[in-house]
Structure 1
Amino acid sequence: METPKVPAPRDEGEKRILAELMSIRDQLQLRKLDRTTYVRTQDVMVLYEKTIEQVNAFPEPPTEWPLLGYCGCTLTWVFLAVDRVVDSCFQLLSLFFMTIGRNNEAPAAYSLTSTIKRLLDHLDEANLFSAKDLASIEHTLERLSKIVNDTKTKEPAPFLEALLSSRIDRCRETLDVLKQRLKEYDEAIIPTHERLVSILRQMAAINTKPKFKPEDINKLRTQLKEIESQMVDGHFVGQRASLWQEVSKSGGQFPEAWKFVYNTLTGIRNELDKLSLTQAWSLRETDLYDYQRQLDKIDENRVDGNWVDAKGQPADLYVQRTLLYLIRRSYGYIYHLMISSEPVSEALLPIYNQLQTLKRCLIEVQNNGGVSSVRELYPYSMKLNSIDNLRVDGKFMVSGDIPEGQGSVSELLSQCYDLNYELRVAAEEMAEQENPDSKDENE
């Protein structure tokens, strides 16, 4: 599973635990690959409890676990094979918790904290971020912290709560460093800084295209010159100006020694981009695991913050910037896919997505003046009734199970009914105003 080599277990006890954990990981992998049935809550919880049982078998359950993130550094600690497998189990279980709609429970935070730490370290390393980037991450960390604190009394494994709290604290430390760096800019030039960040990111995106038009670069160069003409001191821009020459010189061609890594990262970035467009209908959160592991391996292959080729030669600045952009962009997609995950089991997602679409349609109708007659609302009313009729004793059942997310689906259904009712009342009032001497044809 794209996992780097690590030291073997230290004693027979760890070997036994490792064997059990590897069996659990394999079961999680098989369940992840099975698309013939929905993931059931009870199946996930059985494997979660088995994992907890094995970790509790450690002489000293950990208060810290692998939370990799380099920011230009080499690996400064070594963790054993059993630690790696536990990490894989919790990464998978975390994504499974999202898949079954238990997003607001502590285990679901495990994978997200890993991604946030990677993302923060890469923002720090690239030194290319804006206040908006940090605001989203800060909000997510606050939400995760609340989830972890709220589940302290419910979580059967106190070590997991301590571990997640430690992870969140480490993320906050890096976040504070980045926020402090932004404070160095005068408030008056913050908009200019954000424009420059946007331009540089667009340049990096162009840099990853096998073919691009010169006018794409020229448009951005024009924007940069406009900004530069308004600045008294162009030093900040000058530090990054070489990127134009690098992109123009490469012509979309990447050095042969780095083609494999480049193509791998480009492929991951493109696949995650597609998932971001079709997330509501096609994403199972556990799909993100393989992308994470591939990215982790590439990221961990760096030496002193840079990638080295087969001969041990470090990549030049152009290659390093491009690969770092791709890996950072990919982690960014994973982060947004995770925080966009709805607290609804995948078994209920088809119903939930239909209601989301229906709600958007009703809002669009409302924003465009409503309907001219109640009859125009019949298709919406029929769809709502057909979904409502799927409930058994007030619950949406799937294959005899009651999937997670009942409250979210019911609330969305209620919102659609309310919108439909408001449109009906408005149509009836309009009809009465136009013909006050007769009753509405639909009464």
Structure 2
Amino acid sequence: MSSFRVKGGLKLKGEITPQGAKNEALQILCAVLLTSDKVTIHKIPNIRDVNKLIELLTDMGVKTQKIGPESYDFQADNVDIKYLETEDFLKKASSLRGSVMILGPLLARFGHGRLSKPGGDKIGRRRMDTHFFGFQKLGAEFHYDSKKEIYHIDGKNLKGAYMLLDEASVTGTANIVMAAVMAEGKTTIYNAACEPYLQQLCDMLNRMGAKITGIGSNMLHIEGVKKLKGTEHTMLPDMIEIGSFIGMAAMTQSEITIKDAKIPRLGIIPDTFKRMGIKMEFKGDDIYIPSQKHYEIETFIDGSILTVADAIWPGFTPDLLSIVLVTATQAKGTVLVHQKMFESRLFFVDKLIDMGAQIILCDPHRATVIGLDRKYPLKGIRMTSPDIRAGVSLLIAAMSADGTSIIDNIEQIDRGYQYIDQRLNALGADIVRID
């Protein structure tokens, strides 16, 4: 297990370029299974979850070649379906939540999928009913071995269907779309997720020969095709990393420029941080954040306390609520953070309270943060990272605190942020990795 030793109280300055989007990568990489032709993907982040998925695809027989620092060629012309029956496959797939998205492509191209219960963040229940509901609507048969926690999906002759999803699940929608692109006939998915990453996936599939319309809306129409071809794809910058850098700049009173942020694809993320009192300027596709000694949380028009809550796109992404929460601790004012989607994601606030933050954990979904306007700086402590986003929030807190902090279990941070210590140290941070 590795740790970060973080010296707090340092102001950062300079430019930083966000990595490729983790959540997009997990979808796009699985889509290479849909064709026997070569697929070239650019801006792949070098992070634990993505590397584990590439390793899993390679073990399945996908030819993988790194052609640049962030670019790979993939060719799935000799996939070993029998590998799905091995214990090695089940073990590797169970350690990675993104592995669930291989099911749609496997079902579409090979008519069969098998997977052990995926792992991932310990942030509460993350059911997969939506995925399997969609597969069943397309005519697949679903079997679950509750003792071994193994999913079996069989569907040799998928047929298009109309479906109304019970939730606008991003991974569920992506999985169903990938299963439907080669199903016979027309598929309509209502209450589909419409995140930019899903739009990217649909655009890529269309370049491969799929026929998807309604992209960017909550109703997708898919005309099945018999075969898909290769393509080239470049991933968006990671919006979660961009939001993390905005919060970090405010907390550490730093002057930072976030390069190539693809601002039109960020939705309400910049405006949400502006409501936290954080100043920023858009310079082309870059976000400039000046050094701020003070930032004040807005209230609602009637003067009531601001609430920041997660919602499906184009609402505010749940992955940034922990960043909003930690950023509020040094603001002036009060905010209610409402995490609707996951019931365990706010449980890291006890570490912030130990550091001196004024936070009331109302219940598993809500926390009230009383910003002290830097009158009482956070103090350095030893703590453990419970998941990816909480881990980065604790890192931001440590960077702004008085004294030195130790953050254990940073493997969680490495799952979502590439070279984070090196990149922040280049801006003036003092983060030492301890193995």
Task: Give the TM-score of the pair, scaled to structure 2.
Answer: 0.21
More strand by share: 2
Task: Give the TM-score of the pair, scaled to structure 1.
Answer: 0.21
More helix by share: 1
